[in-house]
Amino acid sequence: MEAESFDIVRIEERVRKNISDSVAKETPLTIFLNGQKYVTLFCTPDKPKYLAVGFLRSEGLLVDKDDIKSIRVNSQRSAVRVNTKSKRIPVEGLTLKRFTSGSGKGASWYFTQESTQAEDYQKVSARIKIPAKTISDLMKTFQRGSKLFTATGGVHCAALCDVKNIILLNEDVGRHNAIDKTFGEAMLKSIPTNDKILLTSGRVSSEMLTKAAKEGVPIVASISAPTDLAISLARSLGMTLIGFARDKGMNVYSGEWRIE
């Protein structure tokens, strides 16, 4: 488990107790693309390969699995080296972006092609439908599925589902990372994403929404709230966006027709 035990003091009203508390690990992971250092992400240390691949794909630097020549994980140095056949490197038409999963030694900035203009993304056309009850059931399983959250209360989760089951589930101290790990895992396992549902524990900002849009995911459902920009993008791109999916209720912000 990606948690560490700390001896801490628990205070409740006037009572102080020395207890042991389970805390989520956070570690820097440096991603190299074709020999060039690209970014250092602060993340939960599990599944570095999925995180690296998902992150590079989200950045538009890795188109598909076939483009990968090699992936080497150096656990001691906390680094992943991805080499591609296309020898792509991060240079053109990029804007500087702050990575939000933490900050530390190395880059806390990177370039991105990211746009919040709907016309820069393909519309999502999948005709899948899913009953509201299934969304609620998937969310229940999702929330129970994160052992690290149960132990620490300090991580975010993301999952990829079909209309019946959770297929992939990932956890991370950063909500961006949890989503990147999930799409990275889907890519490496050749699981199509354009007929799936993305579940997330985190708020849905424009960045979360565009990550899903790039994967053609038709339905995004969150336990938490979306931003106005995420809703506008989802509406323009024909995506179904659900927020506050808790217990048996949910808010459908976009693409209600996919919810039966």
Site for a copy of itself in 147-166 (CB under 8 A): 152-154
Nearer to a copy of itself, 3 or 63 (CB): 3
Integer Cα distance of 83 and 90 in angstroms: 13
Whole-angstrom distance, CA of residue 239 vs CA of residue 218: 5
Please name the residues in contact with 225: beta carbons below 8 A apart, sequence gap of 6 or more: 203, 204, 243, 244
| Residues in binding contact with a copy of itself, number by CB under 8 A | 77
- Segment holding 158, helix H or strand E: strand 156-161
Nearer to a copy of itself, 28 or 191 (CB): 28
Residue 162 CB partners (closer than 8 Å, separation 6+): 195, 196, 197
CB of 188 to a copy of itself, least distance (A): 21
Given the rule CB under 8 A, which of 62-70, 112-120, 162-170, 187-195 is the region that contacts a copy of itself?
112-120
Rounded Cα–Cα distance for residues 2 and 152 (Å): 10
Instruction: Assess 251 for contact with a copy of itself (CB under 8 A).
Output: yes
Q: Give min distance, CB of 161 to a copy of itself, in A.
A: 18
With CB under 8 A as the contact rule, the residue among 46, 67, 111, 137 that binds a copy of itself is 111
Residue 146 as a binder of a copy of itself (CB under 8 A): the answer is no
Q: Quick one: 106 or 192, whose CB is closer to a copy of itself?
A: 106
* Stretch 163-192 residues interacting with a copy of itself (CB under 8 A): 173-174, 176
Pair 167, 161: CB distance under 8 Å: yes
> Residues 197-236: x/- map of binding to a copy of itself (CB under 8 A)?
------x-xxx--x-------------xxxxxxxx-----
Burial of residue 193 (number of CB atoms within 10 Å: 0-12, 13-18, 19+): buried
Regarding beta strands 27-33 and 79-84, do their DSSP bridges make them parallel or antiparallel, or are they unpaired?
A: parallel
Under rule CB under 8 A, which residues in 53-82 are in contact with a copy of itself? none
